[in-house]
């Protein structure tokens, strides 16, 4: 029976080339855009090196100072090293806590050639919480940090450009007046991963400021953030709570502010907090972000789905004689709905397959154009499965209504062309 359905589905598709083209174009174009968006979202929020322990990691990046009586506020990634040293490093529930700076852009010269790079100051725990892929050498350790050793870890890209891809461990690199010795080389990091992202990482003690000066806001750019690694995922809410308890007893060093919002969050919560604000207890509005993503996706899919429903109704009405014949010879309405659903699934899967091919081509073009630094978008299996689910949603949603409408015909009405 399935062979018969497939045979007739292909015949129908070939017979109505314009309908087929419109259907396939609608499905494949929409899916292609969705696959690319999903790929970007996945690249931004999904688990990938060096952020492979996302289920056990929290970050504290975005904070907001305000005053209950005054109209003064300050927000963003603005916190000082001292703040995290005093309130995050002292947490007892996390397995490890790291303090790092956001990256800053630096320029360095070699043989009269200028190199622009991103530099990040971090501690030894940074390498233990994040899972960098070391191509050569190793990260710096606690002793290097405590002794303010001028050592650095660089990316493959820096090695290729600055050191002409030659062996560089033990070689020197002058940045901001300090001659750093290269300890390790790691794989390039995507700019869409702001917490681990940089080209060069050096011990945090090399920064030119008094890190332990008692102040809450960073003295200048770059500011700092903290990462906390939990023993197990269930500890994450406990870490958040422990940190919140600590900062409620916090001392404000001036009378500009008397309130602080923010804390340890997942990266998704941080983005949701920035885009959709926070509740009174400082929690990020993640449901707002999820609902927005969902509504955008539904709206985006609605148009081609309505188009498909329309095409399917015409296609099915046009085949009412076939429906009548099949009913006359023993097909029940349920069987016929099944047949049309199978046809729909076939056309959608063809559309999905085309969308995958188009997406691979478009993602390849985006990757080659280096629009975003070190961003290599790819269709992985997870994205492929999501795309297949989207395909199925399309085929079911666009096929159910016409199939149901068709199943209501008496056989004799169907034989007359859908007229009663």
Partner 1 sequence: MISLKEIEKIYRTDKIETLALKEINLEIRKNEFVSIMGPSGCGKSTLLNIMGLLDKPSKGEVLIDSREVVKFGDRKLAAIRNSKIGFIFQSFHLINDLNVVDNVEIPLLYRRLSYKNRRKLALAALEKVGLSARTRHFPNQLSGGQRQRVAIARAIVGKPEIILADEPTGNLDSNMGQDIIDILHDFHKNENTTIVMVTHDEQIAKQTERILRLFDGCMVN
Q: How far is CA 203 from the centre of its chain?
A: 28
Separation between Cα atoms, residue 107 and residue 112, nearest integer Å: 12
Q: Rounded to the nearest whole angstrom, what is the least distance from the CB of residue 318 to partner 1 in the complex?
A: 12
- CA 284 to CA 289: how far, in whole Å? 10
Binding partner 1 (rule: CB under 8 A), the pick from 73, 138, 172, 332 is 332
- Residue 330 binds to partner 1 (criterion: CB under 8 A): yes
Residue closer to partner 1 (CB basis): 11 or 70: 11
CB of 311 to partner 1, least distance (A): 18
Contact letters (x/-) for partner 1, 34-63, by CB under 8 A? Answer: ------------------------------
As a whole number of angstroms, the distance between CA 318 and CA 338 comes to: 18
**What CA–CA distance (Å, rounded) separates 254 from 376?**
45
For residue 331, state whether it binds partner 1 (rule: CB under 8 A): yes
Q: Say whether residue 6 binds partner 1 (CB under 8 A).
A: no
Q: How many of the chain's residues bind partner 1 (CB under 8 A)?
A: 26
Q: How far is the CB of 391 from partner 1 (least distance, A)?
A: 24
User: Per CB under 8 A, which region of 1-9, 65-73, 175-183, 246-254 contacts partner 1?
Assistant: 1-9
DSSP state of 68: S
Asked if residue 4 binds partner 1 (CB under 8 A), the reply is: yes
Distance, C-alpha 417 to centroid of its chain: 50
17 binds partner 1 (CB under 8 A): no
Complex with partner 1: residue 12 or 168, whichever CB lies closer: 12
Run of H or E residues at 66: strand 63-66
β-strand partners of 65: 74, 260
Measured distance CA(183)–CA(150) in Å, rounded: 10
Residue 315 touching partner 1 (CB under 8 A)? no
CB of 321: closest distance to partner 1 in angstroms?
Answer: 6
Which member of 64, 103, 156, 327 binds partner 1 (CB under 8 A)? 327
Residues 220 to 239 in contact with partner 1, rule: CB under 8 A: none
Whichever of 195 and 414 has its CB closer to partner 1, that residue is: 414
Nearest CB to partner 1, comparing residues 81 and 409: 409
**Selected range binding partner 1 among 73-81, 140-148, 215-223, 405-413, rule: CB under 8 A:** 405-413
Binding segment (CB under 8 A) for partner 1, from list 126-134, 199-207, 249-257, 324-332: 324-332
Q: What is the DSSP letter of 377?
A: -
406 binds partner 1 (CB under 8 A): no
* Alpha carbon separation from 3 to 158, 308, 342, 343, 395 (Å, rounded): 57, 24, 11, 11, 19
Q: Where are the alpha helices (DSSP H) in 2-16?
A: 2-15
| Out of 334, 365, 371, 378, the residue judged to bind partner 1 by CB under 8 A | 334
Would you count residue 329 as binding partner 1 (CB under 8 A)? yes
- Contact partners, residue 51, CB within 8 Å, separation at least 6: 57, 130, 131, 193, 195, 196, 267
Q: Is residue 72 a contact point for partner 1 (CB under 8 A)? A: no
324 touches partner 1 by CB under 8 A: yes
Site residues (CB under 8 A) for partner 1, limited to 335-374: 335
Question: Given the complex with partner 1, which of 236 and 336 has the nearer CB atom?
Answer: 336
Segment holding 101, helix H or strand E: strand 96-101
410 binds partner 1 (CB under 8 A): yes
Q: Which helix (H) or strand (E) holds 107?
A: strand 104-110
Pairing of the two strands 172-175 and 63-66: unpaired
- DSSP symbols for 224-269: EEEEEE-SSGGGHHHHHHHHHHHHHTPPPSSTT--EEE--SB-HHH
- DSSP per-residue string spanning 115-171: EEEEEEEE-SHHHHHS---EEEE----HHHHHTT--EEEEEHHHHHHHSTTS--TT-
d(CA 242, CA 60) in angstroms, rounded, equals 13
- Considering only 6, 7, 167, 210, the residue that binds partner 1 (CB under 8 A) is 7
Nearer to partner 1, 98 or 339 (CB): 339
Least CB distance from residue 376 to partner 1, whole Å? 46
The answer to the question of residue 404 lying near partner 1 (CB under 8 A) is: no
Among 46-54, 104-112, 302-310, 329-337, the segment contacting partner 1 (CB under 8 A): 329-337
Shortest Cβ distance from residue 334 to partner 1 (Å)?
A: 7
Residue ranges that bind partner 1, judged by CB under 8 A: 1, 3-4, 7-8, 11-12, 15, 321-322, 324-335, 410-412, 415
């Amino acid at each position: 029976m399935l062979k018969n359905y497939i045979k007739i589905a292909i015949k129908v598709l070939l017979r109505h080339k314009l309908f087929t083209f419109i259907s396939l174009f609608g499905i494949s174009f929409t899916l292609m855009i969705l696959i690319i968006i999903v790929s970007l979202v996945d690249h931004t929020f999904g688990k990938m090196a060096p952020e492979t322990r996302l289920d056990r990691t929290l970050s504290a990046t975005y904070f907001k100072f305000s005053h209950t009586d005054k109209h003064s506020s300050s927000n963003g990634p603005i916190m000082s090293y001292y703040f995290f040293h005093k309130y995050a490093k002292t947490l007892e529930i996390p397995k490890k806590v790291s303090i790092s700076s956001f990256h800053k852009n630096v320029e360095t010269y070699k043989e009269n050639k200028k190199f622009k790079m991103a530099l990040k100051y971090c501690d030894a725990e940074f390498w233990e919480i994040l899972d960098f892929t070391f191509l050569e050498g190793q990260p710096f350790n606690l002793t290097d940090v405590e002794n303010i050793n001028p050592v650095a870890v660089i990316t493959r890209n820096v090695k290729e450009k600055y050191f002409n891809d030659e062996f560089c461990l033990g070689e020197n690199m002058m940045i901001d007046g300090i001659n750093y010795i290269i300890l390790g080389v790691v794989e390039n990091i995507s700019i869409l991963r702001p917490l681990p992202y940089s080209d060069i990482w050096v011990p945090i003690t090399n920064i030119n400021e008094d890190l332990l000066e008692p102040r809450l806001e960073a003295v200048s750019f770059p500011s700092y953030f903290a990462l906390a690694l939990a023993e197990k995922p269930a500890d994450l809410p406990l870490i958040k709570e422990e940190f919140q308890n600590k900062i409620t007893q916090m001392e404000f060093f001036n009378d500009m502010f008397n309130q602080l919002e923010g804390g340890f969050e997942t990266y998704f919560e941080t983005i949701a907090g920035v885009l959709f604000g926070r509740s009174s207890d400082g929690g990020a509005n993640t449901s707002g972000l999820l609902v927005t993503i969902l509504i955008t996706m539904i709206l985006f899919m609605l148009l081609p789905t309505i188009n498909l429903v329309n095409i399917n109704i015409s296609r099915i009405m046009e085949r009412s004689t076939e429906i009548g014949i099949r009913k006359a010879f023993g097909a029940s309405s349920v069987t016929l709905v099944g047949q049309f659903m199978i046809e729909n699934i076939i056309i959608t899967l063809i559309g999905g397959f085309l969308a995958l091919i188009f997406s691979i081509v478009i993602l390849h073009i985006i990757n080659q154009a280096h629009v975003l630094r070190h961003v290599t978008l790819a269709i992985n299996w997870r994205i492929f499965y999501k795309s297949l689910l989207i395909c199925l949603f399309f085929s079911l949603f666009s096929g159910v209504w016409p199939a149901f409408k068709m199943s209501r015909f008496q056989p004799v009405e169907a034989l007359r062309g859908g007229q009663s």
